[in-house]
Amino acid sequence: MDWGKIEILLEKYENAETTLAEEQLLKSVFEKDDIPIHLQSYKMLFKTYSASKVESFKPELKVNKTTFNWRYLSIAASILILFSVSIGYQQYEKKQKAKAAFAETKKALDLLSQNMNKGNLAFVQLKEYQYTTDKIFNSPK
Amino acid sequence: MTQKEFLLNVLPFKDKVYRLAKRLLISTDEAEDATQELFMKLWNKKEEISSLRSIEAYAMTMTKNYCLDRLKSKQASNLTLVHSNYVSNDISLDKKIEIENSIQIVKKLMNQLPEQQRIIIQLRDVEEYDYDEICAIVEMNQTAVRVALSRARKTIREQLLKTHAYGLG
């Protein structure tokens, strides 16, 4: 290993004149174990930088709070609609039955009143008869 | 943009957002809350961002601004920051402790930098963004970014040499 070259590179590095490729070269050079004693501290330095790069964000990212709420809300809403439709249909059925019963009763009552009127007619004739007899028998008075 | 498209566009850089948040806010919990909050904001703006050239750069700028705001309000309410532990892969215990120690030291040094430099060093040395992207994210020109980066790198280097000389040997 040409340490003279490395030292020149290190100086460039400290002046922020190295390219990314040169910096990567430095990092890989200092991965090795046989490093001159006066350059040992660079090993620590580059080791830290490489070690720092592997740290990762552990928890799961939560970005979808709002969309999840919407989804649950829509499920709840559809269940609600289903319930109200079925209840409403039951109510409608009940009402229809009541209507039918009402119509039936009305028919029966109509029949009754028709027959009643027939009876009434007879009464009217009877009344007329009574009136005439009264006229005849009571007129000389 | 549907939820699926949104996640597809946004998930690849959620870790970068989280790491930048953590670099600035330091506490893991704070950084997780901030990330969650930021992605809610992005989701609410999904129609606007779908036309952007780089959603990632926009998200990183948002992260930067959001965290700086949080830091400002925190300084006012005087809350303390909590360090959390780094989990490494399986190596022998001695070596693990040693590495972990040195990593903690460097991290501490990074966190002592001024916020602007901290952001830039996070973007360049950890996330490996190129200068154009960094300029877009921090809303600065390239010279200013390079100056800040150089300063940050030199500070960390000097501090590291000091700790090395005193403590670890």
Chain B residue at shortest CA distance from A63: B40
Contact at CB, B128 and A48, closer than 8 angstroms: no
Tell me if the pTM is above 0.80.
no
* Closest CB to A64 among B3, B126, B130: B3
Burial class (CB in 10 A: 0-12, 13-18, 19+), A95: exposed
Contact at CB, B106 and A64, closer than 8 angstroms: no
Average pLDDT over chain B, rounded to whole?
83
- What chain B holds in terms of domains, given with CATH numbers, is 1-79 (1.10.1740.10), 91-169 (1.10.10.10)
Let me know how long chain B is: 169
- Provide, rounded to the nearest whole percent, the portion of chain B with pLDDT above 90: 43
Distance CA B137, CA A130 (A): 121
Q: What is the pLDDT of residue B169?
A: 43
Contact at CB, B18 and A56, closer than 8 angstroms: yes
CB within 8 Å of chain B, chain A residues 45-104: 45, 47-49, 51-53, 55-59, 61-65, 67
Tokens encoding A5? 């070259």
pLDDT in tens, B75-125: 656 555 555 454 445 556 777 777 778 888 888 888 889 999 999 999 999
* Closest CB to B19 among A48, A55, A58: A55
Residue A67, C-beta contacts closer than 8 angstroms, at least 6 positions apart: B3
The DSSP line for chain B is --HHHHHHHHGGGHHHHHHHHHHHH--HHHHHHHHHHHHHHHHHTHHHHTT-S-HHHHHHHHHHHHHHHHHHHHHHHTPPP--------S--HHHHHHHHHHHHHHHHHHHHS-HHHHHHHIIIIIT---HHHHHHHHT--HHHHHHHHHHHHHHHHHHHHHHIIIII-
A141, pLDDT greater than 90: no
Q: Where are the domains of chain A?
A: 3-53, 82-141
* Closest CB to A57 among B32, B127, B161: B32
ipTM of the complex: 0.76
A40, pLDDT greater than 80: yes
Q: What is the pLDDT of residue A61?
A: 76
pLDDT in tens, B140-163: 999 999 999 999 999 998 988 887
Long-range contacts of B83-92 (CB under 8 A, 24+ apart): B83/B26, B83/B27, B84/B27, B84/B28, B86/A51, B86/A55, B88/A51
Average pLDDT over chain A, rounded to whole?
87
Distance from the Cα of residue A57 to its chain's centroid? 32
Chain A residue at shortest CA distance from B104: A48
- What residues of A are in contact with residue B106 (Cβ under 8 Å)? 44-45, 47-48
Q: How far is B99 from chain A (nearest CA, A)?
A: 8
Q: What is the pLDDT of residue B74?
A: 72
